[in-house]
């Protein structure tokens, strides 16, 4: 019934003691919690660094029965994405399983929004486990796992978070199906989303805002490097009618505190320009006045 539970129960169920999990250092909490639940040995590798992963597997693979590599299609905090074909090469070379979390890439990547496999143009069957949520592009709630028939049958009858949990409410199922139907009928929405995302990112950069590694996705952070600044900035923008949430320590390092913007296909160019203008204005005003930052501004 949720993406977090989907990751936890799947990872925790498929591997265990005697196995190895290698995950991206910026992996979502649900991935880390699933790895801890499994009892497998857990090692993070540097963000998006498939070469470092390759070296780790060369050193470690022979010590474990099974190895599961976990990455995300689009990273929800930074708005960048993995070079998945390179990770496929690494997993094949070391006889490992590869799991890709598509929570933020399904509906946003690829010509028709079918995700990271469509974006790169590779065979989706080269990835062993596809995970995603219905709470982003599908405008509903719930999580899913896609993979081989054998994998799906195993999870359907044995995964605790599926077998011993309630099903999705019919209304949520209907909402997800309707969203998928719209995506199929109107692929131009994906192109509009891409245009809006590129416009927002370019305007932020022109305004001198720090957008980190965001590129080619509708997730754009504005990094403040200070949790209090992020909180004050978010509060000011709410007064302008702009809803953007602050991401504060300990969710991220204090030096990486930020606002996280999600762009949609329905945002107008005027809304995008207004948002960037107000963000830059408030950011510069708060940074120029320490008293305003400490007070209730």
This prediction's pTM = 0.94
Q: What is the mean pLDDT of the chain?
A: 95
d(Cα 273, Cα 167) in Å, to the nearest integer? 42
User: Is the pLDDT assigned to residue 282 strictly greater than 80?
Assistant: yes
In the chain, the percentage of residues whose pLDDT exceeds 70 is 97
Please report which confidence band the pLDDT of residue 1 belongs to, taking 50, 70 and 90 as the band edges: confident
Q: Are 217 and 81 in contact (CB under 8 A)?
A: yes
Please report which confidence band the pLDDT of residue 294 belongs to, taking 50, 70 and 90 as the band edges: low
Q: Which domains does the chain have, with CATH numbers?
A: 3-183 (3.40.640.10), 188-294 (3.90.1150.10)
Please report which confidence band the pLDDT of residue 289 belongs to, taking 50, 70 and 90 as the band edges: confident
User: Is the pLDDT assigned to residue 229 strictly greater than 60?
Assistant: yes
Per-residue pLDDT tens over the stretch 102-141: 999 999 999 999 999 999 999 999 999 999 999 999 999 9
- Longest CA pairwise span in the chain (Å): 61
């Amino acid at each position: 019934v949720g993406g977090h539970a989907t990751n936890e129960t799947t990872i925790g169920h498929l591997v265990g003691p005697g196995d190895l999990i290698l995950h991206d250092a910026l992996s979502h909490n649900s991935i880390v919690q699933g790895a801890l639940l499994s009892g497998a040995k857990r090692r993070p590798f540097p963000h998006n660094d498939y070469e470092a992963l390759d070296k780790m597997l060369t050193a470690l693979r022979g010590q474990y029965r099974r190895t599961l590599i976990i990455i995300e299609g689009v990273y929800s905090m930074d708005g960048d994405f993995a070079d998945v074909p390179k990770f496929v090469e690494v997993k094949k070379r070391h006889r490992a399983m590869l799991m890709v979390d598509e929570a933020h890439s399904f509906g946003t990547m690829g010509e028709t929004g079918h995700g990271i496999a469509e974006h790169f143009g590779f065979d989706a069957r080269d990835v062993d486990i596809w995970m995603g949520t219905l709470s982003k592009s599908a405008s509903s709630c719930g999580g899913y796992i896609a993979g081989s028939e054998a994998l799906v049958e195993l999870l359907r009858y044995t995964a605790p978070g599926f077998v011993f949990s309630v099903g999705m409410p019919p209304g949520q199922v209907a909402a997800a199906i309707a969203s998928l139907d719209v995506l199929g009928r109107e692929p131009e929405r994906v192109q509009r989303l891409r245009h809006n995302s590129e416009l927002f990112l370019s305007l932020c950069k022109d305004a001198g805002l720090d957008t980190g590694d965001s590129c080619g996705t509708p997730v754009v952070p504005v990094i403040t490097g200070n949790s209090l600044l992020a909180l004050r900035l978010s509060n000011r923008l709410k007064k302008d009618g702009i809803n953007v949430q602050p991401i504060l320590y300990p969710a991220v390092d204090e030096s990486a505190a930020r606002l996280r913007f999600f762009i949609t296909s329905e945002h107008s160019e005027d809304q995008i320009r207004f948002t960037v203008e107000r963000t830059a204005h408030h950011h510069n005003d708060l940074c120029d006045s320490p008293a305003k930052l400490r007070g209730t501004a």
